[in-house]
Structure 1
Amino acid sequence: MGDSRRRGYLPEDSSTSSSAEKGKLENKKAKDSEALYYIQTAVADNIFPRISVATSAKEAWSILQKEYQGSAKVRIIKLQTLRRDFENMKMKDSETIDEYYTKVRELVNQLKAYGRNIPEKRVVEKLLISVTEKYDPVVTTIEETKDITTLTVTELVGSLEVYEKRRSRREENSLENAFQFKLNMRSQNSNKKEENFKSTMGDKKKQNKGKYIQRRQEEAEQS
Structure 2
Amino acid sequence: MLTRSTTGQNAAVFIDKDGTLLEDEPYNVDPQRMRFARGAREALSEFACCPFKLIIISNQSGVAHGRFEIGALDAVEARLHDMFASCGATLDGVYWCPHHPDGSVAGYAQACDCRKPGAGMLLRAAREHDINLHSSWLVGDILDDVEAGNVAGCRTILLENGHETVWRRTRVRMPTAYAPDLHRAALMILQYQEHCGGGDSDLSRRPA
Q: TM-score range by the shorter chain?
A: under 0.3
More strand by share: 2
Highest CA radius of gyration, 1 or 2? 1
**How does the TM-score come out when normalised to structure 2?**
0.26
**How does the TM-score come out when normalised to structure 1?**
0.24
More helix by share: 1
Higher relative CO (Cα under 8 Å, sequence separation at least 6) belongs to 2
